[in-house]
Amino acid sequence: MFGLGKKPPNNNGEEHRYYLLPGMGRSNRRRHQLIFLWSIIGGIAGSVLIGLGIWLINR
């Protein structure tokens, strides 16, 4: 059936190996989550300021 069999090894007989490249570790993931959080906060704050400015102009 689909996905039940084991994947065959490569041409040279080795199985697929998983390598972490620089910047793919746990600490980098935490840093990206922090940047993502601050970008969401900044986007919300910017939207509020722009909305307030438009509201004041149209008032």
Cα 39–41–44 angle (5° rounding)? 105
If one compares 22 and 6, the residue with the highest pLDDT of the two is: 22
Q: Measured on CA atoms in the order 52, 56, 57, 58, is the torsion positive or negative?
A: positive
DSSP state for residue 18 in the 8-state scheme: -
pLDDT for 25:
76
Put simply, whether the predicted model's pTM sits higher than 0.75 gets the answer no
Per-residue pLDDT tens digits for 19-59: 777 777 778 888 999 999 999 999 999 999 999 999 999 98
pLDDT for 38:
98
